[in-house]
Amino acid sequence: MSEESSGKPPAPDLPKYLREPLEKQSPERLETVATYAQELADWKRQERQDELERRRAEEEVDEEQLAELKDREVSTDPEDYEDVPASGAYITVKTTKQTDQKKYKYYYWQWREGDSWKNEYIAPVNPQQ
């Protein structure tokens, strides 16, 4: 009898080492696993959000820096940038290079995308006069 004709649900895209042991479990054990998996997923989402908020609080530029960018006619609206999401992105300062005499600092948009961080260049912190 095929899986389709038996009413068995189609297998999700899981590695074999996860899928096969699950298929051998009782309904009660599967419900316990499902509850734990949901709680774990919720916890991981909250951990990711907490990390984002902590990092944002540490790295986000202040109102004075935002005003300075606006005075220089540099947009601080994420919608003016092609790849920057409308929500969740913030402006930060990154040092890309440092020598004994000088630090090269730039404004960047920064945001979380899945498990990684994304950045998009905005402008130098101290433009050449």
Residues 71-116: tens digit of each pLDDT: 999 999 999 998 999 888 999 999 888 888 888 999 999 998 888 8
The first and second tokens of residue 109, run together, are: 């948009």
Same domain, 50 and 66: no
How crowded is residue 89: how many other Cβ atoms within 10 Å of its Cβ? 21
Which ranges in the chain belong to alpha helices (H)?
Answer: 3-6, 16-23, 27-59, 63-71
Task: Please report whether residue 6 resides in a domain.
Answer: no
Task: Please report whether residue 129 resides in a domain.
Answer: no
Residue-range definition of the domain harbouring residue 50: 14-56
25-39 residue pLDDT tens: 999 999 999 999 999
**pLDDT score for 58:** 86
**pLDDT score for 106:** 93
Q: Is the pTM of this model over 0.75?
A: no
Same domain, 48 and 71: no
Same domain, 72 and 114: yes
Same domain, 36 and 84: no
Task: Please report whether residue 3 resides in a domain.
Answer: no
Same domain, 67 and 113: yes
Whole-angstrom distance, CA of residue 121 vs CA of residue 106: 7
Whole-angstrom distance, CA of residue 31 vs CA of residue 33: 5
Same domain, 25 and 67: no
Task: Please report whether residue 9 resides in a domain.
Answer: no
Q: Provide the CA 49 distance to its chain's centre, in angstroms.
A: 9
Same domain, 42 and 67: no
Same domain, 95 and 68: yes
Whole-angstrom distance, CA of residue 80 vs CA of residue 27: 52
Whole-angstrom distance, CA of residue 105 vs CA of residue 99: 12
Total domain count, the chain = 2
Q: 92, 64, 68, 65: which is closest to 78 by C-alpha?
A: 92
- Using pLDDT thresholds of 50, 70 and 90, give the confidence band for residue 14: very high
